[in-house]
Amino acid sequence: MDTGKCFIVAELSANHGGDIGIAKETIRAAKRAGADAIKLQTYTADTITLNVRNNFFKINQGTAWDGQYLHDLYTKASLPWEWHKELFELAEEEGLVCFSSPFDKTAVDLLESLNNPIYKIASFEITDIPLIRYVASKQKPIVISTGIASEQDIELAIKTCKEEGNTNITILKCTSAYPADPKDANLLTIPDIVKKFRVKSGLSDHTKGIEGAIVAVSLGAKFIEKHFILNKGVGGPDAHFSLDEKEFKEMVDAVRTAEKFLGKVDYELTDTKLKSREFSRSLFVVEDLLEGDVINEDNVKSIRPGFGMHPKHFNEIIGRVVSKNISKGTPLSWELIKE
């Protein structure tokens, strides 16, 4: 992830339609769209919740998933574990980094067998300290979303990673709404995360458009994660806030353009800047002068172009005498002024 550029991740999530063929083509599309990585989620309905049908397990949050039981939703959304090896191999063939969000220790063990290079802790798992500790112990880069987190939750998660000797930590600003409203994004938190917690920061973006990613990178985000779908016709639990290939490519292109605008801190006078200084102001003689004439505000002015003395000397030369005849339009220099 430490390439100097923002690391852009296409989140497969539930956008596989229960078809490994769709999952594979989605990976190929993510490569075409310019993603650096494809991210999976590794869980089963039974590793993330219980198959219990009471109101505790029925979604009622004002979301697109309301009315469903958690176990039913996660059964539809989960990526079969037997697909993982094929998808990791395909991503490698395509030149994409493939990594995942585990939701319990058995998922971590599976991912370790596949040499998973990065671990992502999902927003709702930031309070699962035993899981974070187990993941951190694998000494891989760890990325943690903060959608439901308090400041204390973030501090504890970071502390847990460091206790395991893992300091390669990226904390993502995230709004746990699906889709998220831009007014709730509060992306100014990104640079504050870097300053306050001394870690890398980025954005896990659930808004519908691409603007959040552009703003985030301008604020210093080094990691952008966005849900990605082959096409909206695939459907599924996350389709309504995912980007398709065309939209994702537009986001990647916009982020890369934003990075070019950001550039670096630069006060150096390059050859181009020096050439352009010819259009700056300088002191010119604006009336014909004879040797011995006195310089005043009428016969010398600060004008373009920049071949004369620096305008900062204007008050210094007022009242001085010229040393020779000077024609109008001559750049003023010390050689033309009597000592």
> CB of 85 within 8 A of CB of 42?
no
CATH code matching the domain that covers 7-43+78-262, chosen among 3.40.50.1000, 3.20.20.70, 2.60.260.20, 3.40.50.300 = 3.20.20.70
Count Cβ atoms within 10 A of the Cβ of residue 195 and give its class: 0-12 exposed, 13-18 middle, 19 or more buried: exposed
Say what the pLDDT of residue 1 is: 62
Structure pTM? 0.87
**40-80 pLDDT per residue, tens:** 999 999 999 999 999 999 998 877 788 999 999 899 889 99
Contacts of 317 (CB under 8 A, 6+ apart): 283, 295, 300, 309, 332, 337
Instruction: Return the pLDDT at 299.
Output: 97
Q: How confident is the model at residue 3 (pLDDT cuts 50, 70, 90)?
A: low
Please determine, for residue 248, whether its predicted confidence score (pLDDT) is greater than 80.
yes
pLDDT score recorded for residue 194: 97
Residue 2 pLDDT: 62
In the block, which residue shows the tokens 């939209």? Answer: 247
Of 203-207, 214-218, 264-268, which range is least confident?
Answer: 264-268
CB 171 within 8 A of CB 154: yes
CATH architecture of 271-336: Alpha-Beta Complex (3.90)
- The kind and range of the H/E element at 41 are strand 37-42
Burial string for 7-46 (b: 16+ CB within 10 Å, else e) reads: bbbbbbbbbbbeebebbbbbbbbbbebbbbbbbbbbbbbe
For residue 236, what pLDDT band results from cuts at 50, 70 and 90?
A: confident
Asked if 58 and 30 count as a contact pair (C-beta separation under 8 A), the reply is no
Residue spans per domain, the chain: 7-43+78-262, 271-336
Could you report the per-residue pLDDT of 14-48, keeping only the tens digit for each? 999 999 999 999 999 999 999 999 999 999 999 99
Q: Could you report the per-residue pLDDT of 140-185, keeping only the tens digit for each?
A: 999 999 999 999 999 999 999 999 999 999 999 999 888 999 999 9
What confidence tier does 315 reach under pLDDT thresholds 50, 70, 90? very high
